[in-house]
Amino acid sequence: MVKRIAHIGVATRSIASAAEIYEALGMTIGQVEEVEDQQVRVALVKVGESAIELLEATDPTSSIARFIKKRGEGIHHIALEVDDLEQHLELLSSRGVELVDAVPGKGVDGAAVAFIHPRGTGGVLIELCERSKESDA
């Protein structure tokens, strides 16, 4: 089951600069965390049940760096929280949906994450994520 929009991912050249507009809106920027699997630094800006995820590349070969080079800064992906990530990936594969990650990787706060290729989603990069049991984020 898809439970909610966990976050909207935004590709930035600099989290600090991108955060200014949210700070101006009175929003709180979470701690910057590095996600080695994705070669990014991440900061979450909470919005009710959801969040804006600010992403900054830590390596020029990371997908965020390549995205910015091609399309500039801006909305990068939508993350949907699911209750059973592996089951969703199997179901999508069996329907012939092209996945970026057939096997879940590690996201922020120890969440399991996998991306669906935008070729099969009308151009939207969709991240599926499942919260780790220990996390309450």
Looking at the Cβ atoms of 40 and 96, the one nearer to Zn ion is 40
Work out the number of other CB atoms within 10 angstroms of the CB of residue 62: 17
Looking at the Cβ atoms of 26 and 123, the one nearer to Zn ion is 123
Backbone conformation region of residue 112, classed left if phi is above 0, alpha if psi is from -120 to 50, else beta = beta
Q: How far apart are CA 116 and CA 18, in angstroms?
A: 26
- Binding residue for Zn ion, selected from 56, 81, 127, 130, defined by CB under 5 A: 127
* Nearest approach, Cβ of residue 7 and Zn ion (Å): 6
Q: Which of 9, 61, 53 is nearest to 32 (CA)?
A: 53
In 39-104, at which residue ranges do the beta strands (DSSP E only) sit?
40-47, 50-57, 74-82
**What is the contact mask toward Zn ion in residues 32 to 71, using x (rule: CB under 5 A)?**
---------------------x------------------
- Our finding on whether 9 is near Zn ion (CB under 5 A) is yes
| Count of residues interacting with Zn ion (CB under 5 A) | 4
- Our finding on whether 79 is near Zn ion (CB under 5 A) is yes
